[in-house]
Amino acid sequence: MEYLVGVSIKMSSFNLTRIVTLTPFFTIANKSSMELEVGEIAPDGSLPTNKWNYIASSECLPFWPENLSGKLCVRVVGCEGSSKPFFYNQQDNGTLLSLEELNGGILVDVNIAEHSTVITFSDYHEGSAPALIINQTPWDILQYKQNGSQEEMVLLPRQVRLFAWADPTGTKKLTWRYAENVGEHDLLKV
């Protein structure tokens, strides 16, 4: 098996010696309060079956990818359901992954630097969902979904719901339908 490592070269304080540091290129940090398991998505898109990497709360571990899919999923230890796949090899500044076992979900950050990639999981906190959808009408139903997704959600009159991406690897636009009106919003732009 080939291992991808990060190499950092710095001069010592005396400027006579170079300090060469080798680190795992991919690192997973669990800053959440839960014990998690991370699994690599197979090249055919199937979820992992037996190969899950355990990461305790407040732990940081090296990650050595075994295939070229570039996608991971996460689950809470002891639960069968897992998150939707997300890219671990693309910069991501906080995607909310919906988990049925949790009220809200878990956040994933992927920080790519020249010598390493750090995948960080943290607890959901108020304001970390991409959108809060409110149907303020007293009579009409609002239907919405992620652009390109088949999974359409329904919001009854006077209901409120947090929105999480149905497919974190897909197009990050919200489409909606209300009465005869339709629209689309790019939630990543202000």
Per-residue pLDDT tens digits for 37-52: 999 998 888 887 778 9
pLDDT digit string (tens) for 158-185?
A: 999 888 888 888 888 999 998 888 999 8
What's the pTM? 0.80
b/e code 35-44 from CB counts within 10 Å (16+ = b): ebbbbbbeee
Residue 131 backbone dihedrals phi, psi, to 5 degrees: -160, 150
Distance of alpha carbon 189 from alpha carbon 180, whole angstroms:
25
